[in-house]
Every structure is written in structure tokens, then in C-alpha cells.
Amino acid sequence: MWLELALISIVFLGIVILGNNRLGTMIQLFALQSLVLSATPLLVYPGRHAVVMAIVTIILKVFLMPSLLFWAIRHVAIRREAQPLIGYGTTLLLGGFLMGVVFLISSNLDLPVQETSNLLVPSAFSMVMIGFLLLISRFQAITQVIGYLVMENGIFLFALLLLENTPLLVEMGILLDIFVAVLVMGIVVNHINQEFGSASTINLTNLKD
Amino acid sequence: MIFFLYSLAILSASSILIILTSRFRKISGGIFLISTGMGCVLALMSAVNVLVSRTAVEAQLNLRLPFGEFTIGLDPLGAFFLLAITVLFLLAGIYGYGYLKDHEQKNLSVHYALYQLAIISLMLVVTAKNAVLFLMAWEMVTLSSYFLIVFYDQEKAVRSAGYLFLIAAHAGTFCLWIMFLLMASHAGSTDFDQMALASFPLPLAGLVFVLGLAGFGVKPGFIPLHIWLPHAHPAAPSHVSAVLSGVMIKVGIYGLMRIIVIIKDFPQWCAAALLSIGMISGVGGVLYALGQHEIKKLLAYHSIENIGIITLGLGIGLWGQMDHNELAALIGYTGALLHIFNHAVFKGLLFLSAGSVIKAAHTGEIDRLGGLLKSLPWTGHLFLIGSLSICGLPFFNGFISEWLVFRALFEGMFHFKMNALIFSGLAVISLALIGGLAAACFAKAFGAIFLGNSRSTDLAHVKENSALMLAPMVVLAAICLWVGLSPGVMVSLALRAASTIASVEISPTMEGVIISPLLTVVLVLLVLMMVIMVLVLFKRIAMGIFPVEHAPTWGCGYSAPTSRMQYTASSFAEPVLRIFRNILGYAVKGGRPKGYFPKAGEISSHVTEASEVFLFRPIFQFIKFLTAQLKIIQYGYTQLYLLYIFIFLLALLIWKMV
Amino acid sequence: MELFLLLELPFVMAVVIFIVPQDGLRKNFLFLTSFLHVFAIISLWQRPHDLQFNSFLGFDALSRLILSFISILFFVVSIYLIGFLKEKRKRSNRIFIGCLLCLLAAMTLVTMSRHMGLLWIAIASTTLLSAPLIHYYRTAQSIEAVWKYLLISSLGIALGLLGTLFLAISAAPIQTIFLEDILSHADVLSPSWLKLSVIFLLVGYGTKMGLAPMHTWKPDTYGEAPAPVGALMSGSLTGCAFLAVFRVAQICFHAHLQEFVSPVLILLGILSLGAAAIFILGQKDFNRMLGYSSVEHMGILVLGLGLGGGAIWASLFHAVNNAFAKGLIFLVSGNLYRSYRSKRIENIQGVIHRLPATGIFLILGFMAITGFPPFGIFYSELLILKEAITDRRYMVAVFYLLFLSVIFFGYAKIILGMALGKPPDQARQDTRKENFFMIMPLVILVIILIFTGIFVPDSLYHLIDDASSLLGGR
Amino acid sequence: MGIRILLHISLVMIFSPLLLGIAGKTKAFFAGRRGPPLLQPYYDIGKLFRKGNVYSPTTTWIFQAAPIVSMAAVLVSSIVIPMGSIEAPLEFWGDVILFTGLYALARFFVVIAALDTGSSFEGMGASREAAFSCLAEIIVFLDFITLALLSQTFVLSEMIKGNILSSWQLFGPALLLAGASYFLVFLTENARIPVDDPATHLELTMIHEAMVLDHSGWDLAYILYGSAIKLFVLGALFVNILIPFHGLSVVMQTVFFWGGMMMLAVGLGIVESCMARLRLNRIPQLLISAFVLALVGLFVVLIKGV
């Protein structure tokens, strides 16, 4: 029962991020979502393995990554997404529509693994869709990074399904890679900011044929 | 075969040596001359003894390649082509050395090395016994001749001509890829001998033939595919265009013959297709040539015309082979092969003499030349011999090969069924028309360049070229005369090569039937020479007795005739072009000056190149337009790119999962 | 001992590089490490093909083949770098060479990993390590290129991760995703999850490889990256991505999903050829054209995999030749940029007359990438066509040849347009004579290309045979 | 065999100017005047042989060689044609091709000689001659194809002697059409009235005369003699085709042959006196109509079945 609640709250936070346009609040919302996310392995398979996983995800996703993102946008003047590529209303509608489609598809996917809760696969898929929508619909570089991270959270939810058999080393490796990815993206956002004076990707479009 | 391998080794070694010694021009030039000479002579010897002894020889190249081992082999067909290749490359090489000697800073050693690379790749093409080695050599021929064409790469026209040649040849090669792979997949191996053993069903043979025509048709220049020829020849230096149109374009015909050797029987329409292509290319080539007023462009179109004649011989030979009429097949193929050798010789001679005219008078425009026979006697007379032989007039080699093609066509007329009769009848008429028009065109060319008065004043200081350039031309002219007056030798060699194509044994009686009429022709020519001697004798005596005076040409009483009033090339060709104007799109621009105080009037006539203007230019523009439109895919927005990936993922999921 | 040389040494040297103060010394360290790396590979060639270090790392024929041409190319590029980095730059090249070494280690890890998860991690790290390399010139465009590269590749990596997880789900009965176990128990995996994972893996690693719809980052990245980095990325990085796709195809082959995956691979191949044809014809920028040429050659590789049979042998042969050909033409573009100071085609003219050595190698590079005989790509393209025709896939063959000819028109127009003609004699003609280090790697590459073209050594021949038998090829 | 060639050539040399005389006589008879004597051409040629030569400085040896080559070629081309009862000294497969080749050689040299003088009028004649002769050559070949199909051989004398009589009964119309088209070509080749006017010397209208404008003395003599021989040889071919006398006795054959030649000359005179010269751009239409006649003749042979 607790697991369904956690999954629903993760999806709810995802939608809130989608509707938000302030960079600062989006990062905090992401931190909150990762906190709930790191709790879920304890609910599904309580055990030593899950505890280690939870601690590592908390350190990485709740503290390190948001602080890095805040460091990256310390000089950014405009903190608000003035005019996104697609309006906020439409992105939310699109998000809702995509989640509907995902729920439909995942219902007829046959799941060989013993089913913890039938909500897990649809919520993970919808998190990926929301992350993808964020990536596509926004101009601010930081919003795109957050979109990428939300998608990673969705994928992480999938990893839970097979928690016990992937060796710890691989899990750690995946988390480490995501962290380094965000690190590099942060540095590049910094460079964009120095070069163009604003972290928006509008002026990143003159390389074309 | 050993000589052939030695010549290959010498040529490849010397091409590398020439590049290494590129700094000292004298030495690299010397190496070039010696090595080309030795290489060609050795290859010539190996070709001749294969032709004489009628036995095919083979050798193994130890190249370690995914397609297994590579064998090259000299059979009479390949040897006959080797004959033409070595003779022309040797003589054009010597001429080229003389032609480029006083060229300014240009680094000649690279050019010489490429020249030898062209020889090697051509030799490999005619001796390759494996489809992949054939394709390899074929591509090397294209590449080396491309770099030979763009020798004067400062001008933009030369570069675009080279580019047009490269893409046309390469597009042709792709058709060859499909053709050879179809044959290989059917016969199970890429070796020509294995392919020859397999029996090909008629529809597959038809498809292979069509692909062969498209693939092999680009280099010889069958009418719709010929657009690169008139651009490439004026752009290339003369000895390169001599080699190009003398031998390089014949490699396509060799390819067709090799296909006929491998796949014995073809559907009926293939020979009809060959004959119609021959007719269209022949007549079209000579008509376009009449409309050209630049020497090398004119000669380029004449190459297309002669390729048309060769294809007529090939077509009637193929028809004879399919109707199991050995005589027609043999004579047809012999006529085609002999015309290949003759064309290599007299076209080489014409291009080399055109080159020395351009070198002496610094322009190729016929309408600005005139009266060069007095200042360039050697070049003039050699050009005359070349023109006489290309028009197929009796004393020279063109007549012999056209005579053979005529005979094959008439054999076809007597023995075949109705549709063969119509096609060979049409072919006879078009061959006669080609002969007439070629005579008109070369009378125009020779008359306008060498006879009458010089149309532009600066021809005063034109002087004859060095002996190094004239010697090869004299040798070529001698070959023309030798084949013309004693055809027995060359016709029997060509007959041996033809017997490999028709894969039928030649009995001495059959050889006699083919060659004896030619000997009577030579007899008639001897009688003609005697009558000429008698008449000249009488004239000589009369000149002694009666007075001889000199007076200006009778201008029908016009008081101030100037040299620009002479008949120029364009005016000479005007009556013929007016008869065929709607085929050629012949248009005259400018004309009589208008108004009371007319400005300077000017008149120009030109022939529109149909297949280039209406067929290939539109296709190329359309491809360019299409790609330009589709370039907006890369519009610069990262979000757009991510959307592409997402949509593609969705499409895959729907296609594969649902 | 080799394991240390292959994997740990580059990391150690990367750390050492960060400490060493002078730039000059760093270059020599780079050269030394790459030399040792090549030495280790060659010493491994004598050993039997299937060498297992531990459960995670091991060699099979395919990984040995790809690792060898990666390290040889890296070694040649390191020679080039000695000349390239000689010019004074205000920022030290500490990060640049450090990332290069880590990249080498990451690529080695990709080829040696026997665990699909480890394979994903290694590929993700190669992406992240190559990002700073693109950012060498510090211009506005290079930032944009890096940003696009990062975003698109990380999306691809994320999809790859999703695919790996689906694979793990489908391998739930055997509880492990070690390559050996998956291949041996292939029929026990659940088919629908396996299909889903294959699609996600193909799209993910396809993005990394730069196949058609996901190729949009390639022209920008190769357009802005410095030449040696371009050579490395187009030669060896794409080799790793190709290895990953090959592994996916291997899994499908063992799970008898051949009819499922080959149409997808063929579609990807033809789409890439089509995209390359559209953009190469009439291209204005030389390096962007090289980016599209890399898309084209990746398309040919994947098309070869899709067709199966002899075409697998051809695509492996093509991978080897393509790596060296790409390396050659990229290093040539580096020389051109140094002398002409521009990437636009209209202000690069008469290369043969102004830089004779580079001009000749430009022509040889042109011959290599378009597939003229002495070089290997001619045979691989021919073999792939042969396979397409014997399988009666005439439409595929026709499209394949149509796009190849349009691409050839584009190449000929651009490269031969640059090679010939009169060189533009601007006033500031700093035609620094081409120094030795910039020409030496080109000579080595051409010699290697000739060897992999005509005189194919037997060991390479048998290695490719074993590698293609992994997928049931010849 | 040498003596028969010599006899043949001398026969042609002797009788050819006679035809011109007869044609001149008939034209005069039609115009109601006495006209020049029958042997007038002989006197002209004799007069020219006694005259000196005038050469323009722009000309080269080609100008002097052309008359000689053209006369010799036309003369030698006669040895393949049977003259009534006299057999053709030489007969071999494809002698027709040599026949047309020799004419082409003659024409080529005359054309370049015209261009050699450098005068625009000679160039005009040369270009017209080159244009119309291309068309004429095709028609000759078409007629030979018809003849060859009828006689199933390509040796000229067998084509003519063979079963010309029987083929006349069966393929009368085809041979008639071939003969008509051949007659039109005969007029073009010999520059007779409808195509060209041998009498006038107005350069602008002429084709053949314009080319030989600058020749004088011996050259002009050779040219006149050559054109007379050409008329005789082509006429002999025409008569052999038209009159099927090859089966009768030797006396009858000679009578028919020489009578035929006389009738041909008279016919020529009649045509010249009742027709005027065609405009220049009408001549191609004339030749094309001759081509169509020959083609129809060929179709008749094809349909009737060879």
C-alpha cells in the first residue's frame, strides 16, 4: 500500500515540475522527488542491499546534484522560463495525454517477473515521458538538465523491479555515470552563461545546413 | 605471357621512379620515354605471339583478397585490344613528351606517372579474367584518365569537364557492379571461365545485356550517355585526348564483347538494340560534329560516330551468332574489331595533329585559322591522311573496316528473316549516310584549317613543331596507309580475335572467302595509281611546253576581296545543318545589321546538344533542388532533434511490437 | 600484465598528466602511453582468441579486432598531436590530454566488457569524456556543438539504459546479464521483453553510432571539434558503438530473432545513407561533410549486419577500413585548417599546388572514403551489394547504389573542387611548411590502408572470419 | 586480264564525250537551231589540252591534284561495269562499295580543291556539292539493296546479268521505281538541269561549275573529260539495269546497249530543254522524293517475298 502511495506522489511531483517555470523551485521539487524515490527500494525488498542503495541515492540525488545545479545557475540573471517553446497549458495537456497512452500500453505488456505492484511499470514509463517532454518543450538549459534527471528517475524506478539480481557494482556505476553527466552539463551551462550572457538555448541554433 | 608480366613490372616500377626523381626534369622525362617504350614493346610482342599462335595464356597474381585469387590471361580478343593500346600509348607518349617539354613550371613527373598508371590499368582491364579484378582495373582507368584530363586545372571549364567525366563514368560503374554480381550469383563464382560454363536463362541474359549497355555505354559514348565526351576532349591536353578517344573509350566495347563471350545466347531484341544504338550514335555523332567549329570538339563527336560504326558491326555479328550464321557473325565481329584498331590509329593521328595545330596557332577555333598548309606542311599533310582514312575513302584503313561492316550487313540481308532484314537495311543506309556526312565534315575541317588564306592575321609567325612530335604522327599515318593497301595481315588478326567472340573455329576456306575480295580491291587501287601516274606524266610534259602564269583567285570581278570573305566552317556546314535542323535544334543568332546606321552586326550558329540539355541537366538540377529542400531537417534546434529520436522510437515500437 | 597496460595505465597516466606542469612533457607521456597500449595489443595477438580475465572482462574475436584498430588509430593520432599541440595556446592542455587518456581507457573497457551493464557504463563514460575534447577552440559554435552532443547522446544513453534494464527483466529466469549466460540461455528469455529491449538498445546505441534519425549531432560535433579529436571520434568511438550494436545483433541471433531485427537494421542503414546523400550534395563546410560521411559509413556497417551472411564479414572489414580512412581524411582536414584558416569550401582552393603533400593525401583520402580499388572499402561495398543481390533484395540494392552515387557526386564536387584550381593568394600567406609530425601519421595511415586493402595479412583475415562467425556469417 | 582492263578504259575514254555531243544536239534541235557539231566536246577538250595554266598563289598542290584524282577515280570505277556484250574485267564481292568509295574520293578531292582557292564562290559550290551528295549516296545504296535482294548476290555484274529478265516480269514495278530514283540521282551527280545548269557560268546559281571556277588549261580539260566519263559510266550502269538484254546474242546485246546509251543522251537533252533549274532549297525535296521512290521499290520487293 505504501508503495502505491510513493509511486503516485512521484508521478504527482513530476507533473508539478512540468507545470512550473521557476528554476529554483524546479530543482527543489526534483530533490523532493528523488527523496521519495530513494525510499521505494526499502518498501519493495527490505534488506541490506536496499539500505545501501537508498543511502547512496539520497547522498547523490538529494544533496549533491541539486547543489551542483544551484552552483551552475549562480550567475544566471533570469531565473524564470519567460516563453517556452510550447505553452505551459499545452505541455501539461500533452503530459496528461502521454500518461494516458502509457497506462494503456503497459496494461497489455505481459510481465514475466512476479509483480510487486501493477502501478510500477506505468508510473516509471510516465516519468520517462514527462522527463522527455521537459527536454523538448523548454529553452532554459537548466530545465533541460532537470528534464534529463526526471527521466533518469523514471529509469531508476524500473531498476527497482530487478533490484536483487543486478550486482551492486553495476548499480553504483549507473548512479555515478548520471552524476558525472549532470556535472559536465552544469559546467557547460556555466560556459553558455559566460558566452551568451543567458542560459537560454535560443542563441544555440546557428549551426545548421 | 612472361613479356606481359615484365612490361607490367617495368611500367609500375618506372612510374614510382619518375615521381621520386621529379626534381630533375631531364632524368624523369628520360625514364618516362624509355620505360614506356620498353613496356609497350614487350606487351606488343606478347599480344602478337598470342594472336599468331592462337593459344590463350594465363598467370596468377598473388594478391591476398576477400575474393580469392586473381588471374590475368591473354586470349586473342584481349590481345587484339592490347595491340591497339600499346601502339597508340607508345606513340602518344613520345608526342606528349615533345608537346609538354617547354611547358612552364608545371610538375610533369606526376603527369608522366599517371600516364603510365593509365597504361597499366588499361592493360589489366583487357587481360582480367576475374570480375572483381576487371572492376578494379576499370575504376583505375577512370581515376587515372580523370587526373590526365584535368592537367590544365587552372581553368574552371577544365575542372567541370573532368568532374562531369568522373561522375558519368562512376555512375556507369555502378551498373556494372549490379551486372557482374547478377552473373556471379547465377554462376556461383566471379571468375570469367566459371561464368562461361554456366548457362544463363534468356530473361537474365536480357537483363544483364541492358545493364551492360548502360554500364559499358558511358565510356564509349552511346548517344544518350555521351555528354561527357565533347567536354572532356577539348579540356585535356592533345596527347591525352588522343589516347582517351583512341583506346580508353574502346574498353567499353571490349566489355560488351566479353559479356557476349561469357553468355553465348541472348534474346532477339538485344542485337536489334545494338544495331539501333549504332545507327543513332553514328548518325547523331556525325551530325553534331558538323555543327561544331572547334577542332577537338569536332573530333570528339567523330569518336561517337565511329563508335556507332563499331556497334553496327557488333550488332550484326551478334545477330549472326544468334541465327547460327557463322559467316555474318565472323565478318561482323572482324569488321567491328578492325574498326576499333583503325579508329585508334587515325583518331590518334587526328588528335595529335590537332594538338600541334593548337600548339602552333594557339587556338582551336576553326573559323580563326586558315592557310596553315603552307606554314605547317607536315601537320597539314598528316591531318589530310587522317581525314581521308576517317571518312573511309579507298586508299586508307577506314575503307577496309567499313567494307567489312558493309559485307556483314549485306550477309545479314540475304540470310535473315524479315525484321533482321529491315534492321540491316536501315543500318546499311545509315552507314552510307555516315560516310557521306563524315566526308563533308572533314572536307570542312581540313579546308577551313589548312587551305585558302589565313582568316586571322597573326598566323604569320606560325612555325612547324619539333621532330619529336611529328615522328609519331608519321608512324601513325604509315600504319593507316599500310592497313589500307595490304589489309590481309590485320584482317586475319582481327578474324582470330572475332573467332573467340563467336567461339567458332575458322576454316582456311572461310578465311579465304573473307579476305580474297579485299585483295582484288587492292588490285583496283593499284590500277588507279597507275592511271594517276600516267595523267601526272602528261601534265608534267604539258607544263613544260605551255606557259604557266600566276594570278590572284578569280573573284568574279569583285574589286576588294578580303581573306575574311572566304567560306568558313559554319557557312560550309550550313546547307547540311539546314536539312537536319529540327533534329539538331540548329539555330542562327544575329544576322543582317538593322536600321539606317546599323551597329556592328555579328552572326553565330550553334547546335543544341539534345541529350544533355533535355535529359541530364534537368535530372541533375532536380536532385540538387530536392536535396536543398530536404536540408531543413538540420534546422539547428536541439529540441527538434530530440523529437526526431522520440518519433523514430515510437514508429519502431508501433511497427515492430504491435 | 597486459590487463594493467590496457586498462589501468591510461588512468594512472591521466592522473600523472594533471600533476606535470609543462605542456611539452604531457605530449610525450601521451605518446608513451599510446605506444605501450599498442604494444600490449600486439602481444595479445599471439594469445588464443577467447581470453577471459575475470567474469567482467574478457576478449573474443570481435573485441580483439575492434580494440586493435582503436589503439592503432589512437597511436597515430597521438603522433599527430605532438605537431598539433605545438602552437602556443593560452589555456594549458592539461584537461585535453587527460580526457584523451581516460577516453582511451573507457574505449578499452567497452571492448573488453562481458557484462551488458558494464558495457553501458563504459559507453556512457566515453560520451562524457569526449565532451570537453570537442570544446577545444572555445568558440561560440563549439559550445553549441558540445551542448547538442551532450543532450542528444545522453538521451541516447538513457534509452540504452532503459533497453539494458528491459534486457535484465527478460533475463529474469537466469538472474544475470553476463554476455555468456544470455547467449547460452537465449531461448529461455521472454520474447516480448527481449524485443522491447532490442528496440531501445538499437535506438540508444544507434544514437551513439550516429545512425539516421539520431545523427543530427554528428555534423555539428565534427564540424567544430579539432581535427585529431574528429579523427578519434569518427574512427574509434564509432567502432565502440558498432561493437555494442553487434552485441545486440549477437543476442538476437542466438534468440532466433533474426527476422525481427534485420529489417530494422536495414531500415537504419538505408535511412543513414539517404540522410548522408541529402546533406553531402551541395555541402558548404568540409568538416560537416566529414560528419555526414561518417553517418554514411555507419549506415553501410549496419546495412551489412542487417543483410547477414557474407555481408557481416564485409561490414567488419568495412569497419576496419573506415576507421583508418576516416582518420586519414580528418587529419588532412586538420592540415588544411592550419594553412587556410577556414573550413568553408569556397576559400580552400588549389591544395595540390600550395600544400603538395597534404594534397596527395587529400586525393588518397577521397579515394579511400568513396571506395576506389586499391583501398578496402571498394571490396566491402561490393560484397554488401553481392549479399543484397543473392538475397533477392533488389529494392535495397537499388536504393543503396542510388544513394552511394549521389554521395559520390557530392564528394567529388567538394574534395576535387578543393584539390585542384589556383590557390587563393591572400596577403597574410603564412604557409608554414607542413612539419614532419603532421605528415608522418598520414603516411602510416595510408600504408595501413593499403595493407588492409589489397595485401590483407592472414591473421587479420582469420580474425574477421572468427568475428563474423559469432553472428553466423561466412 | 590487264589487256581487258586497258581495252575497257580506252573504250570509255573514246565514247564518253560523244554523249555530251548528242545531248547538245538534241537541245539545239528542240530550240530550233543547228547547234554545235556532235564532236564539239572532243574539240573543247583538244583545245584545252593546248592551252597554258594559270594558278593562284593561295593554292597548294591539292588544287592541281584534284582534277587528276577525280578523273582517274571515275575512269577506274568503270572497270567493274559490263558494257553490253563486253564482260566487266573485274568482278568481286562488294565491288559496289568500292564503286561508291571511288566516287566519294573524287568528290572529296574536288571539294577541298575548291576550298583551296580561298574564294567565297568556290566555297559556296563546294558546300552545296557536299550537302547534296550525302543524300544522293543513300539513294544509290538503296537501289543497290533492291537489286541485291532480287539477285541474292552482291557482285555488280551478276546483279545486272543474272536473272534480270525474270525479275523484270515478277518485280517490274520495283525495278521501275529503282530506275526512276536512280535517274534522279544520275541528274544530281552529273549536275544536269533540274539540279544544276551545266551551260551557264553564273556562280551564284551553280553547284558543279562554281567548284571548278578557278581551274584552267590542263586542269579544266581533265575536269571536263572526267565529268564526261562520269556521265558515261553512270549511264552505262543505268542502261544495264533498265534494259534486260542479257540473254540475247552478242550482236543484239551490243546493239541494245549502245542504242540505250544514245537514247539516254537524247533523253537527257529532252529533259534539259523542257525543264528549268530548281531553286536551291527545292533540291533536297527532290532528293527526298527520289529516296521515297527507292524505299517504296524496296518495300515492294520485301512484301512480294524475297
pLDDT tens digit string along B521-530? 999 999 999 9
Place of cell 530543482: A27
**What's the CA angle centered on B495, arms B489 and B497, to 5 degrees?**
110
Contact B638 C279 (CB under 8 A): no
In a domain, A208, yes or no: no
Interface test with C, best of B211, B645, B654 (most C CBs within 10 A): B645
Q: Name residue B589's beta-bridge partners.
A: B604
Among all residues of chain B, which has the CA nearest to that of A148? B642
Torsions phi, psi for B73 (to 5 deg): -145, 145
For residues D217 and D54, is the Cβ–Cβ distance under 8 A? yes
pLDDT tens digit string along B268-322? 889 999 999 999 999 999 999 998 889 999 999 999 999 999 999 999 999 998 8
The minimum CA-CA distance between B637 and chain A, rounded to whole Å, is 5
Q: Which H/E stretch holds residue B550?
A: strand B548-550
Among all residues of chain D, which has the CA nearest to that of B523? D90
Q: Would you state the cell numbers that stand for residue C26, as one nine-digit string?
A: 604531457
Task: Please tell me the distance from the alpha carbon of residue B125 to that of residue B169, in angstroms, as a whole number.
Answer: 15
> Which residue range(s) make up the domain with A181?
2-107+117-198
Task: Using an 8 Å CB-CB cutoff, list chain B residues near D102.
Answer: 394, 528
The minimum CA-CA distance between C92 and chain A, rounded to whole Å, is 17
Q: Is the pLDDT of residue B434 over 90?
A: yes
Contact A195 C140 (CB under 8 A): yes
Q: How far is the CA of C7 from the CAs of A45, C301, C320, C342, C417, in angstroms?
A: 36, 27, 22, 38, 44
Q: Note the pLDDT of residue C332.
A: 92
Whether chains B and C touch (3+ CB pairs under 8 A) is answered by yes
Q: How far is the CA of B635 from the CAs of A204, B67, B630, C25, C218, in angstroms?
A: 11, 44, 10, 43, 14
For residues B264 and B503, is the Cβ–Cβ distance under 8 A? yes
Name the percent of chain B lying above pLDDT 70: 98
Q: Note the pLDDT of residue D172.
A: 81
Q: Name residue D86's beta-bridge partners.
A: D83
In a domain, A172, yes or no: yes
For residues B648 and C214, is the Cβ–Cβ distance under 8 A? yes
Collapsed DSSP state (helix, strand, coil) of residue C98: helix
Task: Please tell me the distance from the alpha carbon of residue C5 to that of residue C134, in angstroms, as a whole number.
Answer: 27
Task: Please tell me the distance from the alpha carbon of residue B28 to that of residue B115, in angstroms, as a whole number.
Answer: 13
Question: Considering only CA atoms, which of C296, C423, C408 is closest in space to residue C359?
Answer: C423
Q: Mean of the pLDDT values across residues B458-482?
A: 87
Q: Is the pLDDT of residue B592 over 80?
A: no
Q: Mean of the pLDDT values across residues B390-400?
A: 91
pLDDT tens digit string along B169-199? 999 999 999 999 999 888 888 888 888 888 8
Task: Please tell me the distance from the alpha carbon of residue D126 to that of residue C25, in angstroms, as a whole number.
Answer: 85
Q: Note the pLDDT of residue B79.
A: 92
Among all residues of chain A, which has the CA nearest to that of B653? A105
Per the structure, the count of domains in chain C is: 1
Place of cell 527536454: A135
Q: Where are the domains of chain B?
A: 1-266, 268-544, 610-657
The DSSP call for residue A58 is I
What's the pTM value of the predicted model, to 2 decimals? 0.91
Q: Note the pLDDT of residue C395.
A: 92
Non-local (6+) Cβ contacts of B309 within 8 A are B278, B282, B339, B401, B402, B405, B431, B434
Compute the half-sphere exposure of residue C408: CA atoms within 13 Å on the CB side of its CA. 24
Contact A184 C150 (CB under 8 A): yes
For residues D275 and D193, is the Cβ–Cβ distance under 8 A? yes
Q: Is the pLDDT of residue A130 over 70?
A: yes
Q: What is the 3-state secondary structure (H, E, C) of B399-436?
A: HHHHHHHHHHHHHHHHHCCHHHHHHHHHHHHHHHHHHH
Place of cell 598563289: D57
Q: Mean of the pLDDT values across residues B213-236?
A: 91
Interface test with B, best of D98, D110, D189, D288 (most B CBs within 10 A): D98
pLDDT tens digit string along A36-82? 888 887 777 777 777 888 888 888 888 888 888 888 877 776 666 66
Task: Using an 8 Å CB-CB cutoff, list chain B residues near D56.
Answer: 550-554
- Tell whether B658 is within 8 A of chain A (Cβ): no
Q: Name residue A36's beta-bridge partners.
A: none
For residues B315 and B443, is the Cβ–Cβ distance under 8 A? no
Q: Note the pLDDT of residue C427.
A: 43
The minimum CA-CA distance between B167 and chain C, rounded to whole Å, is 6
Place of cell 559509413: C297
**What's the CA angle centered on B350, arms B348 and B353, to 5 degrees?**
105
Question: Considering only CA atoms, which of D175, D224, D200, D205 is closest in space to residue D272?
Answer: D200
Q: Which H/E stretch holds residue A12?
A: helix A2-19
For residues B96 and B16, is the Cβ–Cβ distance under 8 A? no
The minimum CA-CA distance between D24 and chain B, rounded to whole Å, is 27
Amino acid making up residue C442: L
Question: Considering only CA atoms, which of A152, A122, A120 is closest in space to residue A134?
Answer: A152
Task: Please tell me the distance from the alpha carbon of residue B641 to that of residue C197, in angstroms, as a whole number.
Answer: 22
Q: Name residue B603's beta-bridge partners.
A: B590
pLDDT in tens, chain C (474 residues): 667 767 777 778 878 877 777 777 778 888 888 888 888 888 887 776 667 777 778 888 888 899 999 999 999 999 998 888 877 666 777 788 888 888 998 998 899 888 888 899 899 999 989 988 888 888 888 888 998 999 899 999 999 988 988 888 888 777 777 888 888 888 888 888 888 899 999 999 999 999 988 999 999 999 889 999 999 999 889 999 999 999 999 999 888 888 889 999 999 999 999 999 999 988 889 999 999 999 999 999 999 999 988 899 999 999 999 999 999 999 999 988 888 888 888 888 888 888 888 899 999 999 999 988 888 899 899 999 999 998 888 999 999 999 999 999 999 999 999 998 888 775 445 555 667 778 889 999 999 998 888 888 888 888 888 888 888 776
For residues B542 and D49, is the Cβ–Cβ distance under 8 A? yes
Non-local (6+) Cβ contacts of B617 within 8 A are none
Q: Which H/E stretch holds residue B588?
A: strand B586-590
For residues C156 and C214, is the Cβ–Cβ distance under 8 A? yes
C256: left (phi over 0), alpha (psi -120 to 50) or beta: left
Work out whether strand C51-52 and strand B603-607 pair parallel, antiparallel, or are unpaired: unpaired
The DSSP call for residue B151 is T
Question: Considering only CA atoms, which of A10, A53, A50, A52 is closest in space to residue A34?
Answer: A10
Non-local (6+) Cβ contacts of B247 within 8 A are B84, B85, B88, B89, B122, B344
Read out DSSP for B451-505? SS--SSGGGGG-----HHHHHHHHHHHHHHHHHHH-THHHHHHHHHHHHHHHT-P
Task: Please tell me the distance from the alpha carbon of residue B607 to that of residue B610, in angstroms, as a whole number.
Answer: 9
Question: Considering only CA atoms, which of B255, B400, B259 is closest in space to residue B339?
Answer: B400
Whether chains D and C touch (3+ CB pairs under 8 A) is answered by no
Q: Would you state the cell numbers that stand for residue C290, as one nine-digit string?
A: 566529414
Instruction: Give the number of residues written for chain A.
Output: 209
Instruction: Give the number of residues written for chain D.
Output: 306
> What would you report as the CA-atom Rg of chain B, rounded to the nearest whole angstrom?
27
Per the structure, the count of domains in chain A is: 1
Please count the helices (runs of H) and the strands (runs of E) in chain C: 22, 2
- Tell whether D295 is within 8 A of chain B (Cβ): no
| % helix, strand, coil for chain C, step of 5 | 80, 0, 20
Ranges in chain D, pLDDT < 70: 162-164, 201-204, 305-306
Q: Note the pLDDT of residue A110.
A: 62
Among all residues of chain C, which has the CA nearest to that of A164? C175
In a domain, A204, yes or no: no
Q: Would you state the cell numbers that stand for residue D265, as one nine-digit string?
A: 543522251
Question: Considering only CA atoms, which of D270, D239, D246, D219 is closest in space to residue D24?
Answer: D270
The minimum CA-CA distance between C208 and chain B, rounded to whole Å, is 12
Taking every pair of C-alpha atoms in chain D, what is the biggest distance, in angstroms?
Answer: 60
Q: Note the pLDDT of residue B568.
A: 85
Task: Please tell me the distance from the alpha carbon of residue B192 to that of residue B257, in angstroms, as a whole number.
Answer: 13
Number of Cβ within 10 Å of residue A18's Cβ equals: 24
Task: Please tell me the distance from the alpha carbon of residue B476 to that of residue B353, in angstroms, as a whole number.
Answer: 11
Task: Using an 8 Å CB-CB cutoff, list chain A residues near C175.
Answer: 165
> What would you report as the CA-atom Rg of chain A, rounded to the nearest whole angstrom?
18
Task: Please tell me the distance from the alpha carbon of residue B554 to that of residue C108, in angstroms, as a whole number.
Answer: 93
Q: Name residue C178's beta-bridge partners.
A: C115
More confident residue, A106 or B19: B19
Burial (CB < 10 A; 0-12, 13-18, 19+), residue B16, is exposed
More confident residue, B608 or D102: D102
Interface test with B, best of D51, D55, D119, D133 (most B CBs within 10 A): D119
Non-local (6+) Cβ contacts of A5 within 8 A are none
Cα distance between the two ends of chain B: 65
Q: Would you state the cell numbers that stand for residue C324, as one nine-digit string?
A: 583508418
> Which residue range(s) make up the domain with C449?
2-470
Task: Please tell me the distance from the alpha carbon of residue B156 to that of residue B291, in angstroms, as a whole number.
Answer: 24
Q: Would you state the cell numbers that stand for residue B299, as one nine-digit string?
A: 573530333
Q: Note the pLDDT of residue C49.
A: 60
Q: Would you state the cell numbers that stand for residue B202, as one nine-digit string?
A: 534468356
Q: Mean of the pLDDT values across residues B614-625?
A: 88
